Amino acid sequence: MATSPQQATATGTAADKEIEQFDVVVIGAGVTGLYALYRMRELGFSVKVLDEASGVGGTWYWARYPGCRFDSESYSYGYSFSEELLQEWDWKEHYSGQPENERYLNYVADKFDLRPNIRFNTRVASAVYDDEENRWQVEAKDGWKVKGQFLITAVGLLSAGYIPDFEGINSFKGPWCHTGRWPKEGMDLAGKRVGVVGTGATAVQLIPMIAPEVAHLTVFQRTANFCAPLRNGPIDADTMNEIKANYPEIFRICSETAGSFMHEFDQRSAMEVSEEERLEQYEELWQKPGFAKWLSNFRDVMVPGEANEDYAEFVRNKIRERVHDPVVAEMLVPKDHTFGAKRVPCETGYYDAYNRDNVLLVDVRKAPIECITPTGIKTADAEYDLDVIIYATGYDAVTGALLNIDIHGQGGQTLREKFVDGPRTYLGISSVGFPNLFTVNAASVGNFVRAAEPLMDWVSECISYIRDNGYTRITPTLEAEDAWVKHVNEDGENILRTKTTSWFVGANIPGKARALLTAPDTAPAMRNKRAEVAANNYEGFVLE
Ligand code: NAP
C-alpha cells in the first residue's frame, strides 16, 4: 500500500498503466466523503474522491431550494474533529441555511486542502471488483477510470431524487425541477403560477418562502404531516463564544442520545403525570426551538399507544389554531399515521402560508394526479394551470444513490440483484461478495455528521488495521450478514419508523421492497457494536 498521501500507487499491470490507482476511492464529496478524505490522508493512504457536482457539499451543494436549512442546531451538526475549525467558524443562525452550510463545507475543503484529491464533474457509472487484482475499478459516465483497493460509497442517504412517473411529465411547457436538484442559477418564480407537489420536510421549508413571491401557489398534498415550529434565530457574537466554550458538552450530549441530537427524552411516562402537568410540559416544549417537541418529550410519546395519541392530538390542535379556514385546517391535520413515525418537519410560517389568498391546497389523496399536461397538472377532478412545477417528492433513500451505480462484486454478482428484497449487509456497511467495499451511506440516520464522523473513524481504523497486519482484503461472513439482516428486520418491527409508509422503509418508491433501510439501533448502540467488533479482531469479518 502507498505511503505517499497525495500520490497514486504505482502498481498494476502494463495495460492499466494509464489508469490511476489509489489505496482508497471515495464516491461523494459531501459531509461524509470530505471527512473520509481527511482521515484517510491523515493515515497515509492515497485517496481519490469523485463527485458529480462541480463543488463540495453533497446535499448542501444540490439542495438549493429557497428555505433549505438544518433542522439540527448548526453547532451540533458541524464537524468535531478539529478544535481549530470549531473555534474559527462562526455559525450565524441556530438553524443554518443552505448557502451558509455550503460555505462552511467549502471552508473545510480549503482549510484542509482537500480539493487536490477530488475529481469534480465526475458522475460514477460503475464499480467493478477484480478478484485477482483485489482492486475496484470505478468508471465515470465520461469513460474516465480509476482503481482503488478500497471503495467507500459516501453517496448520501437522501441524494437520489424521486419524481413520480406521472404520465405526460415531459410535455409540460414551463420550467420544472426536483427540489434536490434546484438550478444553481435559481428559478424565476416571481409573479408566476407555481405548483408544488409534496408536503414533506422539503416542501414545508419551501412553501412559506415562495408564497409571498409567486402570483399563485397550488400545493398538491397526498398526506398531511405533523410539523413543528422551528423557531430559528440569529446567533450573536456573545452566544457564539459561549457555544465555542461549550462544544465538549454539546458533543457529549449528542454522543449519548439515540439520534445524536441535542435533545434527550424525558424518562417519565406522559400518562404517569397529571393532565395539567402533561399539558404544561407539551406547551413548554412547543415553545422551544428545533426538535425539542419531538425528541425531548415523554419517552412513551415515541411508541404507538395512548401517550403518542395524546400528544398527536395536542399537535393537531396547534395546526387548527394556526389555519383560519377550518376546512383547510382539517386537510392539514394528519389523521392516518402516528406522531413521530415519519420524520417531523420543522416549519417557519408553513401553516400561515395557507391563510394567504394566493395559496390553494389540493387533496390528491381524494383526487390523485392523473397526468401532467403542457399547461399544468390534471387531477381526477380538476385541471390546474401552472407556469412552473416543483416536485418536492422526496428521495429513493439510502439504497437509491448506491444502486444507481452499477456495482459488480465477486463472480460478477451485482449489488442491485443482491439488494432486490432490501439491503443485505453486515452492520450496514459491508456485504458478502463485495470485498473492501464500505457502503457508509447506508449506515447512519439521525444528526448526520454526528453519525458520519464516528462511522468514518471506524472504517479508517479498519483499513489501517488491514494494512498494518499484512492483510489485503476484508469481507463479512455469511453468518454475520444473515444475523444482521435478521436483527434489522426483527428489531426494526419494534420501532416507530417502520410503522408507516415513508422513505425509512423504502415505501415511498413504487416497486421498492419494503425493508428498514438503516439500523434499528440507537447511535450509541451502533457505536458500541462496531467498537466490539473491532476489539474482537473484526469479528464477523474474514480478513485475508
Ligand atoms: P418526503 O418526506 O418523502 O416527502 C415527499 C412528498 O411527496 C410527500 O408529501 C409525498 O406524499 C409526496 N409524493 C410523493 N409521490 C407523490 C405522488 N405520486 N403524488 C402526490 N404526492 C406525492 O421527501 P422530502 O420532503 O424531500 O424529505 C425527505 C427527507 O429529507 C426528510 O424526511 C428529512 O429526513 C430530509 N430533509 C431534511 C431537512 C433538514 O434537515 N432540514 C429538510 C428537508 C428534508 P406521501 O407522504 O403521501 O407519500
Asked whether 436 and 26 are in contact (CB, 8 A), the reply is no
* Residue 279 belongs to a domain: yes
206 and 345 part of one domain: yes
- DSSP secondary structure string for all residues of 303-367: SSSHHHHHHHHHHHHHHHHH-SSHHHHHHHS--SS-TTTS---EESSHHHHTTSTTEEEEETTTS
What average pLDDT does the segment 142-164 reach?
97
Is 60 exceeded by the pLDDT of residue 15?
A: no
Question: Could you tell me if residue 364 is inside a domain?
Answer: yes
Strands 369-373 and 376-379 come out as antiparallel
In ligand 1, the atom with minimum distance to the C-alpha of 391 is 7
Using a pLDDT cut of 90, give the percent of the chain over it: 90
Cell of 491: 428489531
What cell numbers appear for 123 in the block? 458522475
* 541 in a structural domain: no
Nearest to 191 by CA among 392, 390, 387: 387
Average of pLDDT values for 502-522?
93
- Residue 499 located in a structural domain: no
Q: What pLDDT is stored for residue 196 in this prediction?
A: 98
Exposed/middle/buried for residue 100 (C-beta within 10 Å: 0-12, 13-18, 19+): middle
Centre a 10 Å sphere on the Cβ of residue 340 and count the other Cβ atoms it contains: 23
Cell of 132: 485477482
Task: Measure the CA–CA gap between 293 and 283, rounded to whole angstroms.
Answer: 9
Place 12 in a pLDDT band, splitting at 50, 70 and 90.
very low
Give the pLDDT confidence score for residue 303 in this predicted structure. 84
Ligand 1 neighbours (beta carbon < 6 A): 69-71, 158, 164, 197-203, 205, 220, 222-223, 343, 364, 369, 392-395, 503, 508
CA of 411 to the centre of ligand 1 (A): 37
CA of 199 from ligand 1 middle (Å) equals 6
Count CB neighbours of 168 within 10 A. 13
Cα 88 from Cα 389, distance rounded (Å):
41
Judge if 374 and 430 occupy the same domain: no
The arithmetic mean of pLDDT across residues 150-159, rounded, is 96
Q: What is the pLDDT of residue 365?
A: 97
362 and 460 in a common domain: no
If asked whether residues 407 and 360 sit together in one domain, one would say no
* Statement to judge: residues 147 and 216 lie in one domain: no
User: Structural domain tally of the chain?
Assistant: 2
Is residue 182, in this structure, part of any structural domain at all?
no
Residue 155 clears pLDDT 60, i.e. is over it: yes
Residues 323 and 241 in one domain: yes
- 130 part of a folded domain: yes
Question: Which of 162, 218, 226, 508 is the pocket-test mutation for ligand 1 (most atoms within 8 Å of CB)?
Answer: 508
Question: Which of the listed residues 330, 360, 391 is the one where a domain comes to its end?
Answer: 391
Q: Give the separation between CA 522 and CA 258, rounded to whole angstroms.
A: 5
Q: State the pLDDT at residue 443.
A: 65
pLDDT over 80 at 122, yes or no: yes
Distance CA 195, CA 171 (A): 15
Cell of 346: 420543522
- Per the CB < 8 A criterion, the answer to whether 421 and 488 are in contact is no
Same domain, 302 and 361: yes
- Does 379 share its domain with 401? no
Confidence (pTM) = 0.95
- Predicted confidence band at 442 (pLDDT cuts at 50, 70, 90)? confident
Q: How far is the CA of 535 from the centre of ligand 1 (A)?
A: 39
DSSP 543: E
312 and 447, same domain (yes or no):
no
Q: Does 335 share its domain with 413?
A: no
Q: What percent of the chain has pLDDT over 70?
A: 96
Q: Are residues 235 and 381 in the same domain?
A: yes
Question: Phi/psi at 223 (nearest 5 deg)?
Answer: -130, 125
Domain termination residue (choose one: 473, 500, 515): 473
Q: How confident is the model at residue 294 (pLDDT cuts 50, 70, 90)?
A: confident
- Of 427, 429, 424, 431, the closest CA to residue 410 belongs to 431
480 CA to centre of ligand 1 in angstroms: 33
Q: Which of 393, 441, 444, 502 has most ligand 1 atoms within 8 Å of its beta carbon, as the pocket-test mutant?
A: 393
Q: Domain residues for 132?
A: 4-8+16-56+114-160+397-473
Do 300 and 360 fall within a single domain? yes
Domain boundary among 446, 473, 500: 473
Give the ligand 1 atom nearest the CA of 203: 25
Domain-located, residue 88: no
Q: Assess if residue 527 is contained within a domain.
A: no
Total residue length of the chain = 544
Under the banding of pLDDT at 50, 70 and 90, the label for residue 6 is very low
Pairwise CA distance, residues 475 & 150, whole Å: 11
- Which residue, among 429, 512, 465, 383, has the nearest Cα to 154 in the 3D structure? 429
Mean pLDDT of 56-70: 97
Which cell numbers hold the place of 100?
451558509
The domain that holds 466 is classified in CATH as 3.50.50.60
Mean pLDDT of 379-402: 97
